[in-house]
Chain A
Amino acid sequence: MIRLSGLRKTYGSFVAVNGIDLHVPRGELFGFLGPNGAGKTTTLRMIAGILRPSAGHITLGGDDIVTDPMSAKQRLGFIPDRPFVYEKLTGAEFLRFVAGLYGQEGDIVERRIDELLDVFELSLWKDELVESYSHGMRQKLIISSALIHRPEIIVVDEPMVGLDPRAARLLKDLFRQFIERGGTVLMSTHTLEVAQAMCDRVAIIQRGDIVAQGTMDELRNQHDADASLEDLFLKLTGGTAMRELADVLEG
């Protein structure tokens, strides 16, 4: 379970996240949508304990990320949008290292590494340095690392970027099974089809504020009964005022 209350992040006078409240219960896949620079990544990085909130609280499974970070982080698997990993470790070594950070070792970890690399079709690359991995392979490795310690909660920033259709499908199935077993997923994405197809509920964030949240049906009822998620998104985030495409293309 993820609970955000009055969560705020400022950089000097710039307000990146403006006191948002959110509750994602166990067994739910929650979509976090918003245009570029709306505050999605900042929120997710605060939930993961990478950024400190300027105000407000974040609890993961009941543990506060600021006052009790060790217990809260033990429950969490974080997947960032940019896959920076140690270039001079092999895939298996990286996963072993991450398991070590969560205090796990031994045969259980070795079995888990094989299992995850197998699922993400990285087994052949297990003993090769990460520097020889493609962007998509790195992304798969990071997803594996987020799952290595069997977290209760997954926070994921733009999960589909760089993944081939097969891996994207695999990830969708994996998240689905994860929540069916009682897990919680908070996912930010730009791909509205993905959000529409996968998420139980979504929130739309605009300039640091949540401007709408609920199930697809709830959002339609609140705004426009026939609208698609894309229409709703554009309406709520002011995206209808688009430039004349012909001007841009023809010069």
Chain B
Amino acid sequence: MTLANASLSLVFSPKWMTARARIRQERSGRGTKAVLIGTVGLIFWLVVFGVLYRVLRYFRGVEEIGPLLAGKLLGLVLLAFLSILLLSNIITALSSFFLARDLDLLVSSPVDWLQLYLAKLGETMAHSSWMVALMAVPIFTAYGTIYDGGFLFPLIALSIFLPLLVVPAVIGSAITLILVNVFPARRTRDLLSLVAIAAAGLLVLLFRIVRPEQLARPEGFQNLLDFITLLRTPTSPLLPSEWATQVVMGWLVGPMDPLPILLLWSTAAALVVFGALLHAKLYTAGFTKAQEGAERFVKGWIWKSLDPLFRRLRVAKREFIIKDLKLFFRDTTQWSQLILLGVLLIIYLFNIKALPLFRGEQVPFFLVTIVSFLNLGLAGFVLASIAARFIFPAISLEGRQMWLLRSSPLDLRALLWSKYWIGTVPLLVLALTITIFTNVLLRATPFMMIVGAATITLLTLAIGALALGFGALYPQFETENAAQIPTSFGGLVFMMTTVGLIAAVVVLEAAPVYAYLQAVNQGGRLTFNPRMLASFLGVFALCTAATVIPLRIGLNRMEGFEF
């Protein structure tokens, strides 16, 4: 066989064989992991299916506008998918077409440009679409079940979904191809990750701030006929998501029109041809450019000015903290996540502010206290997610440099200590901000304010330790991308343990909060009884144990690391 005739399947084969080997490895001896991930995935599917099933059943019961609403909802979902896929494909294409490690081999081999394009397009599409594809399964199942789609419905769904994946993959790859020809690849990667995260954050923020829940209020509709007319008009007749909606709703409620499905497939095919031509024209120049231009000079004075902050620490700890801060803030893919965090915080506070608690004349004291108390659990969950993203990967990210840390006289306790505080202090600031601000917004009493602040402090210290401990127990030394580390098995175990801890704390504190509510309700003063004290002591003991034990276990595990 000559390489000039290398088929698409041959170019694809290393990826395919790697995936197969990985599955085989997972199967051998890691059955629990598969069961756990499968269960969580199934629960997620069931929740999505359940929610949509109820919504669609309600729509089905509404005369005249029911199917229109269902179609509109599907159109919106598919449009959201299309936007997410476009962003995700643009970013993935940069890695698969320009930065992947196998490119040197492929480009230097006599592989036909078209085969290379198609293989890389397929890889880009698979990497960026699998999550959306999994998400689509319960959605289409709910539509098929409610509207009796019949046994051919999965085929119909598949026939519209495939071109919906191809279109953003081709457009995304083409945009990346053009960008790489204009900017250096590494600069493009930074730029894209920033733009993508800012765009996603802005989208979520806008969506929340327009308060879609108000649309559900009947006083919002002045004229039913106007509303129905609006529903009948396609939102965006030129978008593939609209064509896909027309096919699905045509099949489910009629009348079936073959034009949209033709439009979908012909557009996808035409775009692949267009993408291939663009690839033939621009890829070589872009690939050459992608090999150049790493980021160069950096401004050290900013960091020097931070030195006095850590002056009191021992030199090894100080250098470690400064090093970690530098690595974080110089990596766009890392710090740009802070934008999302900011958005999350704004939305969180906005949601609390938007709660309809203070509409009536009398302030519902009972409700405010309960919301303020349950807010602890919610804030804990938010903190756990943030810790999973930022603290959990901390040990894994040292993997490649572990030769240096292990061969130097660095006490591993100092390493763990630095990692713990550098992750936990900002988390604590965030936790206290969320808790105190929400309690101020809720006009909570001083008792709830103190209970909230103290509990969230203890919880944060524990969450930080759990993240680091589980990060050391389940290290991912081979993964270079920090964002992928929290989605590993260890990340899942960490999240489950943390949710368990938060639940235990909420349950333990429920008794004293209830006693407080009762006391205020009966107009009396709150007196501390041994039961309340035992509850608070229980929370203290639990959080302390959840702080100390994971750090100890993490340290032991790190001492046993071999490279």
Interface residues of A (CB under 8 A from B): 45, 48-52, 69-71, 73-74, 76, 78, 80, 84-86, 88-90, 92-93, 96-105, 127-129, 131-132, 145
Kindly list 20 other residue pairs between chains A and B, CB separation below 8 angstroms, not including A49-B407, A88-B331, A97-B319: A48-B406, A73-B408, A80-B403, A84-B403, A85-B404, A89-B326, A97-B320, A97-B322, A97-B323, A98-B404, A100-B318, A100-B319, A102-B408, A102-B409, A103-B314, A127-B298, A128-B298, A129-B294, A129-B298, A132-B294
Q: Find out whether the CB atom of B409 lies under 8 angstroms from the CB atom of A73.
A: yes
CB pair B403–A132 under 8 Å, yes or no, is: no
Residues of B within 8 A of A85 (CB): 401, 404
A44: nearest chain-B partner, CB-CB? B407
The 3 closest A-B pairs by CB, nearest first: A100-B319, A78-B407, A48-B407
Q: Are A88 and B330 in contact (CB under 8 A)?
A: yes
| A129 adjacent to B401 (CB under 8 Å) | no
Question: Can you give 14 A-B contacts (C-beta < 8 A)?
Answer: A48-B406, A49-B407, A51-B563, A52-B562, A70-B409, A78-B403, A88-B330, A89-B323, A90-B300, A96-B319, A97-B319, A100-B318, A103-B314, A129-B294
Interface size of B by CB at 8 A reads: 34
Smallest Cβ distance from B161 to chain A, in angstroms? 39
Q: How far is A102 from B414 in the complex, measured between Cα atoms in Å?
A: 13
A103 vs B298: C-alpha distance when bound (angstroms): 25
B298 contact set on A, CB distance < 8 A: 90, 127-129
Whether B409 and A74, one on each chain, are in contact in the complex, defined by CB atoms closer than 8 angstroms, is: yes
Is A104 a contact of B315 with CB atoms below 8 Å?
Answer: yes
Q: Which residues of B contact A131 (CB under 8 A)?
A: 294-295
**Beta-carbon contact of B409 and A69 below 8 Å:** yes
Q: Once the chains are docked, how many angstroms separate the CA of A89 from the CA of B403?
A: 17
Q: How far does the alpha carbon of A17 sit from the alpha carbon of B5 in the complex, in Å?
A: 46
A7: shortest Cβ distance to chain B, in Å?
15
List the A side residues contacting B411 at CB < 8 Å: 70
Smallest beta-carbon distance A67→chain B, Å: 13
Q: When chains A and B are docked, how far (Å) is the Cα of A96 from the Cα of B562?
A: 25
Complex Cα gap A84–B477 (Å): 13
Separation of A90 and B404 alpha carbons in the complex (Å): 16
Cα distance, A145 to B401, chains bound together (Å): 13
CA distance A86 to B295 in the complex (A): 14
A178 and B480 CA atoms in complex are apart in Å by 37
> Mostly helix, strand, loop or mixed at chain B's interface?
helix
Cβ proximity bits B282-297 to A, threshold 8 Å, 1 near / 0 not: 0000000000001111
On whether A88 and B409 interact (CB within 8 A), knowing A103-B316, A127-B297, A129-B298, the answer reads no
User: In the assembled complex, which residues on chain A have CB atoms less than 8 Å from the CB atom of B562?
Assistant: 50-52
Q: Does B232 contact A (CB under 8 A)?
A: no
B199 close to A (CB within 8 Å): no
Q: How near does chain B come to A39, taking the closest CB pair, in angstroms?
A: 15
**Which residues of chain A have C-beta atoms less than 8 A from B316's C-beta?**
100-101, 103
Asked if A129 and B295 make an inter-chain contact with CB atoms under 8 angstroms apart, the answer reads: yes
Which residue of chain A is the closest to B404 with respect to CB atoms?
A: A98
Q: Shortest CB–CB separation between residue A149 and chain B, in angstroms?
A: 9
Cβ–Cβ contact B294 & A73, under 8 A: no
Q: Separation in Å of the B99 CB from the closest CB of chain A? A: 12
A132 touches B319 (CB 8 A): no
Is residue B402 within 8 Å, beta carbon to beta carbon, of the partner chain? yes
Residue of A nearest to B314 (CB): A103
Q: Which residues of chain B are within 8 angstroms of A129 by Cβ–Cβ distance?
A: 294-298, 330
What residue in chain A is nearest B334 (Cβ atoms)? Answer: A88
Q: Do B297 and A128 have beta carbons less than 8 Å apart?
A: yes
Contact A86 B401 (CB under 8 A): yes
Q: Does B327 reach chain A (CB closer than 8 Å)?
A: yes
Query: Chain A residues near B323 (CB, 8 Å)?
Result: 86, 89, 93, 97
Write out, one digit per residue, whether chain B residues 395-406 have a CB within 8 A of any chain A CB (1) or not (0).
000001111111
| Chain A residues with CB under 8 A of B297 | 127-129
Measured CB to CB, the nearest residue on chain B to A88 is B330
**Cβ-closest chain B residue relative to A70:** B409
Given A86-B323, A88-B327, decide whether A50 and B403 contact each other with a Cβ distance below 8 A: yes
Does any Cβ of A come within 8 Å of B182's Cβ? no
CA distance A49 to B412 in the complex (A): 13
* Complex Cα spacing A128 to B296, Å: 5
Would A101 and B409 count as touching, CB distance under 8 A? yes
For B562, the closest partner residue in chain A by CB is A51
Distance from A91 Cβ to chain B, minimum over Cβ atoms (Å) = 11
Among residues of A, the one whose C-beta sits closest to the C-beta of B303 is: A93
A101 to B560, CA, bound (A): 20
Question: Which residues does chain B contribute within 8 Å of A145, judged by CB atoms?
Answer: 404
Q: How far is the CA of A90 from the CA of B298 in the complex (A)?
A: 8
Q: Are A45 and B410 in contact (CB under 8 A)?
A: no
A51 to B563 CA separation, bound complex (whole angstroms): 6
A93–B300 CB distance below 8 A: yes
CA distance A74 to B326 in the complex (A): 26
In the complex, A132→B314 CA distance in Å? 31
Residue numbers in A under 8 Å from B314 (CB-CB): 103
Residue pair B408, A50 in contact (C-beta under 8 Å): no
Q: With a CB–CB cut-off of 8 A, which chain A residues contact B563?
A: 45, 50-51
Give the contacting residue for B295; candidates A69, A70, A132; CB below 8 A: A132
Within 8 A of A (CB), among B262-301: 294-298, 300
CA distance A80 to B296 in the complex (A): 25
A86 to chain B, nearest CB (A): 6
Which residue from chain B places its CB closest to the CB of A11 in the assembled complex? B562
Q: Contacts A104-B315, A127-B298 given: A89-B327 contact, CB under 8 Å? A: yes
Q: A105's closest neighbor in chain B, by CB? A: B315
Complex alpha-carbon distance, A90 and B408, angstroms:
20
| Residues on B with beta carbons closer than 8 Å to the beta carbon of A74 | 409
- Contact check, A101 vs B295: say whether CB atoms are below 8 A apart: no
Q: Give Cα distance in the complex from A104 to B562, angstroms.
A: 26
Tell whether, in the assembled complex, residue B403 and residue A48 are in contact, meaning their CB atoms are under 8 Å apart: yes
Per-residue interface assignment for chain B, residues 159 to 190, with 1 indicating a CB less than 8 Å from any chain A CB and 0 otherwise: 00000000000000000000000000000000
Contact B404 A101 (CB under 8 A): yes
Task: Give the distance in Å from the alpha carbon of A138 to the alpha carbon of B547 in the complex.
Answer: 39
Complex alpha-carbon distance, A97 and B327, angstroms = 12
Contact B403 A101 (CB under 8 A): no
Q: How far is the CB of B325 from chain A (nearest CB, A)?
A: 11
Q: Which residues of B contact A93 (CB under 8 A)?
A: 300, 303, 323, 326
CA distance A100 to B321 in the complex (A): 11
Q: Which of B459-481 contact A (CB under 8 A)?
A: none
Task: Select from chain A the residue with minimum beta-carbon distance to B400.
Answer: A84
Nearest-Cβ distance from residue A182 to partner chain B, whole angstroms? 21
Q: Which residues of A contact B300 (CB under 8 A)?
A: 90, 92-93, 127
Decide yes or no: A84 and B319 within 8 Å by CB, A73-B409, A74-B409 being known contacts: no
- Residues of B near A102 (CB, < 8 A) are 408-409
A84 to B398, CA, bound (A): 10
Cβ of A50 and Cβ of B409 under 8 Å apart? no
In angstroms, Cα B407 to Cα A193, docked, is: 29
**Which residues of chain A are near B295, meaning CB under 8 Å?**
129, 131-132
The 0/1 profile, CB within 8 Å of A marked 1, for residues 301-329 of chain B is 00100000000001110111011001100
A110→B330 CA distance, assembly (Å): 23
Minimum CB–CB distance from B25 to chain A (whole Å) comes to 16
